[in-house]
Structure formats: C-alpha cells, structure tokens
Amino acid sequence: MTKDHREQAPITPEESLASLPQIKFEPGSPGEESGFRRAELLQSVLLIAGMDHATEAQFVRDVVRNALGRVPEIGE
C-alpha cells in the first residue's frame, strides 16, 4: 500500500453500496416474486449499511421507547 492510500479516509459500507450501479426494477408476471424480493432486500441492505454506532443507538432507544413507553435510566 502506498503512502497516498493510507492518507485517504476509509470508505464506509454506505459509500461502497452507493457507488454500485442502480438495479433496474422490471417486475415480471404477477406470480414472479423474485424481483420484488430483490428490491426489498436491496432496501434492507441500504438501510443497514447506512447505520453507524450513533444511528444504531438511536434505533435501539426508539424500539425500547415503543415497547416500554420510555427509555429506562442507566442502572434501572
């Protein structure tokens, strides 16, 4: 690895996925689900790839708030 590569900021999973070409969505016959499943999977992957530690922590707090009505204090 050259010195130039070490000075560049690391690429995130979100940036990596964003650099991929868009997949053209062309649904087939009504009985064909593979296209819909691929589109759903792609959306899930993009959402997960965009999560860093801060968004993950906020997501967990939101889930706990929805389940319990509030986020308990540390040590509770």
* pLDDT band, residue 17 (cuts 50/70/90): confident
| CA distance linking residue 21 with residue 60, whole number of Å | 31
Kindly state the tokens that stand for 59.
Answer: 């997501």
Domain residue ranges in the chain: 12-68
The values of phi and psi at residue 26, to 5°, are -130, 90
pTM for the model stands at 0.39
* pLDDT band, residue 49 (cuts 50/70/90): confident
In contact, 39 and 25? CB cutoff 8 Å: yes
